[in-house]
């Protein structure tokens, strides 16, 4: 095994296996069964108090990205081999819903295949099977355990609210419907992005899938102290998503977005439609989030996603922040991205063959190509405040328009590679380009927000290069790059070590730490 290979990981396997089951649940399975699996994966109603969902654990306890694990043990989009857990064919009654190659996880205690179709009678038993899975699966770093993943009483309450329970009277149903939930920005954004993720085709760039997953569930690429929408929904809203989807949708998804702007598919994206997709619109530029961006479009797509609020309006207030995602980290982690694409603002320019700029000519939700600097973008067909609005005819120059701002001082149209080469080599700290790039990216954040001087932390190494001068031994803590000094000579990428934070770097923009010990 080379130093770049990832060892089998139970947490990653269980996350991916349950995600595959969730995506294959038949439409006639009990909605509370879907809620239970979502709770284990992403948090929310049904998860036992104090238990962390698998998605958040993956971001916090493993030193690798799921995209790396999927590439090694799968096809880059999904894990196909599960080396750390037992998988098997579904029960005979479930096989009609999946192809012959599909496998489901085996419960560790009873050795039972996890079911796909669950009804009201089999729901309690299915929850018991899911509760056999560990609260903290084995991962790179230890986790705090608990008694069980799910609170069966909460799941059964979801079952009752679905209308399947015989003891619900008509009067109780009417009382519940009369208690209306006010329209909620956080719930709208959560469900809008979740629906986009569910329907995202395999042709979508894996970096885009990971970015949307980060915002909705895992928090993997979020800025320090920024929480995923799933975590915020659980902590900041007094209602559950099943009730919200029932009031503002069809019980499965929200269909009426009264707080946020949404747009339908563009004409050239209809071949991606899997039952209808309504996508959030980036609030600053007025451009709909794409469903399947290519490598060349990824940078622009990430900047559109980054326009969404850090702390959307909800029942409880929360401190905000400047931006959701560490876009530079995502772009750096996906090597198939066209390096000539800009990683700055979504509306920065890149010259195309006809002399125009492809980012200045961007697609609005109406499907029109417009010039950012010289023209206005037609307002997309959006759903806002419960009503549909469409633009006026193209000949009507008085129609409401949204102007995409031009670059202002401090915003560069030069790709990062060109910016780096234009700087004096005397300012470089590391000879290794990857280490130097990480060092520059790390200067965007205040390290004191992540680690304290003198604090001892566990670090998963992301870069180990003894050929550079000085040697590069670097890991991350909540996306902050931590450079290790006086490290032993036998370390490899993905090793876990204990270090003591000694400094915030010469310009107080990175963290430096001294090696303390190995982690078994």
DSSP assignment letter at 70: H
Give the residue from 333, 366, 386 where a domain finishes. Answer: 333
> How far is residue 371's CA from residue 8's CA, in Å, rounded to a whole number?
49
| C-beta atoms surrounding 434 within 10 Å | 15
| C-beta atoms surrounding 271 within 10 Å | 9
Cα-to-chain-centroid distance, residue 461: 22
- Total number of domains in the chain: 2
CB 471 within 8 A of CB 404: no
Q: Does 67 share its domain with 206?
A: yes
Look at residue 400 and tell me if it is in a domain.
no
Residue 149: what pLDDT? 87
The two three-digit tokens of residue 428, written as one number: 């470089």
Sequence-ordered list of residues with C-beta below 8 angstroms from that of 476, at least 6 positions apart, any chain: 63, 459, 460, 462, 482
Look at residue 377 and tell me if it is in a domain.
no
> How far is residue 326's CA from residue 278's CA, in Å, rounded to a whole number?
25
Q: Does 71 share its domain with 188?
A: yes
What is the rounded end-to-end Cα distance, in angstroms, of the chain? 18
Partnered with residue 279 across adjacent β-strands are 263
Look at residue 104 and tell me if it is in a domain.
yes
Give the residue from 289, 308, 333 where a domain finishes. Answer: 333
Look at residue 351 and tell me if it is in a domain.
no
Which residue in this structure is represented by tokens 């239970």? Answer: 36
Sign of CA pseudo-dihedral 489, 3, 55, 113: negative
Look at residue 368 and tell me if it is in a domain.
no
Sequence-ordered list of residues with C-beta below 8 angstroms from that of 214, at least 6 positions apart, any chain: 59, 220, 221, 222, 228, 325
**Strand ranges, E, within 366-407:** 369-371, 377-378, 382-384, 387-389, 401-402
Partnered with residue 263 across adjacent β-strands are 279, 382
Sequence-ordered list of residues with C-beta below 8 angstroms from that of 398, at least 6 positions apart, any chain: 392
> How far is residue 258's CA from residue 279's CA, in Å, rounded to a whole number?
13
Q: Does 127 share its domain with 253?
A: yes
Q: Does 316 share its domain with 445?
A: no
> How far is residue 13's CA from residue 38's CA, in Å, rounded to a whole number?
16
How wide is the angle at C-alpha 15 spanned by C-alphas 12 and 21, nearest 5°? 140
Residue 417: what pLDDT? 34
Which residue in this structure is represented by tokens 């280490």? Answer: 435
Residue 394: what pLDDT? 38
Look at residue 382 and tell me if it is in a domain.
no
Judged by DSSP in three states, 312 sits in coil
501: left (phi over 0), alpha (psi -120 to 50) or beta: beta
Annotate 473-498 with DSSP letters as a single string. Answer: EEEEETTEEEEEES--TT--TT-EEE
Q: Which domain holds residue 483?
A: 432-518
Residue 268: what pLDDT? 53
Sign of CA pseudo-dihedral 286, 291, 293, 299: positive
Which H or E element spans position 500? Answer: strand 496-503
Residue 513: what pLDDT? 92
Q: Does 37 share its domain with 159?
A: yes
pTM for the model: 0.47
The two three-digit tokens of residue 298, written as one number: 């990824």
**Strand ranges, E, within 326-432:** 361-363, 369-371, 377-378, 382-384, 387-389, 401-402
Q: Does 327 share its domain with 462?
A: no
| Domain CATH code at residue 505 | 2.40.50.140
Look at residue 423 and tell me if it is in a domain.
no
> How far is residue 343's CA from residue 412's CA, in Å, rounded to a whole number?
10
Residue 416: what pLDDT? 32
Q: Does 313 share its domain with 457?
A: no
Look at residue 360 and tell me if it is in a domain.
no
Which residue in this structure is represented by tokens 């993956």? Answer: 58
Q: Could you say which residues of the chain have pLDDT below 50?
A: 1-3, 162-178, 270-271, 273-274, 337-430, 432-444
Q: Pick from 351, 346, 321: which is nearest to 331 by CA?
A: 346
CB 374 within 8 A of CB 253: no
Give the residue from 333, 356, 390 where a domain finishes. Answer: 333
Alpha-helix runs per DSSP H in 298-373: 298-305, 327-333
Q: Does 127 share its domain with 243?
A: yes
């Amino acid at each position: 095994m080379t130093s770049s290979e990832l060892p089998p990981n139970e947490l990653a396997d269980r996350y991916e296996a349950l995600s595959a089951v969730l995506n294959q649940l038949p439409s006639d399975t009990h909605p509370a069964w879907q809620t239970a699996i979502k709770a284990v994966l992403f948090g929310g109603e049904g998860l036992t108090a104090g238990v962390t969902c698998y998605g958040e654990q993956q971001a916090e306890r493993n030193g690798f990205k799921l995209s790396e694990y999927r590439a090694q043990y799968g096809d880059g989009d999904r894990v196909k081999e599960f080396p750390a857990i037992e998988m098997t064919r579904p029960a005979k009654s479930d096989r009609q819903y999946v192809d012959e190659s599909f496998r489901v996880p085996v419960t560790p205690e009873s050795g039972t295949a996890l079911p796909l179709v669950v009804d009201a009678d089999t729901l309690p038993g299915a929850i018991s099977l899911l509760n056999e899975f560990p609260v903290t699966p084995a991962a790179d770093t230890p986790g705090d355990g608990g008694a069980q993943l799910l609170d069966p009483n909460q799941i059964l309450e979801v079952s009752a609210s679905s209308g399947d329970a015989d003891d619900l009277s008509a009067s109780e149903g009417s009382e519940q419907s009369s208690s209306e939930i006010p329209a909620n920005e956080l719930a709208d954004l959560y469900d809008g992005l979740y629906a986009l993720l569910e329907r995202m085709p395999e042709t979508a760039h894996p970096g885009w899938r990971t970015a949307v997953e980060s915002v909705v569930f895992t928090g993997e690429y979020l800025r320090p102290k920024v929480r995923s929408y799933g975590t915020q929904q659980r902590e900041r809203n007094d209602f559950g998503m099943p009730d919200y989807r029932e009031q503002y949708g069809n019980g499965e998804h929200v269909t009426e977005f009264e707080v946020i702007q949404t747009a339908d598919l563009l004409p050239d994206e209809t071949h991606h439609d899997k039952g209808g997709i309504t996508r959030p619109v980036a609030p600053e530029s007025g451009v709909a989030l794409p469903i399947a961006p290519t490598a060349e479009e990824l940078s622009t797509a990430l900047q559109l996603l980054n326009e969404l609020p850090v702390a959307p309006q909800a029942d409880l207030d929360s401190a905000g922040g400047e931006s959701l995602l560490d876009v530079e980290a995502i772009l750096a982690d996906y090597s198939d991205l066209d390096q000539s694409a800009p990683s700055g603002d979504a509306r920065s320019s890149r010259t195309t063959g006809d002399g125009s700029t492809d980012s200045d000519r961007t697609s609005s939700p109406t499907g029109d190509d417009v010039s950012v600097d010289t023209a206005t973008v037609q307002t997309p067909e959006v759903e806002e405040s419960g009503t549909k609005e469409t633009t006026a005819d193209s000949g009507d120059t008085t129609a409401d328009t949204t102007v995409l701002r031009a670059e202002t001082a401090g915003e560069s149209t030069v790709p990062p590679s060109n910016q780096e080469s234009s700087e004096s080599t005397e300012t470089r700290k590391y000879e290794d380009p990857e280490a130097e790039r990480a060092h520059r990216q790390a200067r965007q954040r205040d390290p004191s927000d992540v680690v304290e001087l003198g604090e001892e932390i566990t670090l998963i190494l992301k870069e180990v290069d003894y050929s550079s001068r000085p040697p590069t031994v670097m890991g991350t803590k909540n996306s902050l790059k931590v450079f290790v000094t006086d490290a032993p000579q036998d370390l490899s990428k993905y090793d876990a070590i204990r270090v003591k934070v000694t400094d915030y770097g010469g310009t107080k923009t990175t963290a430096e730490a001294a090696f303390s010990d190995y982690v078994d």
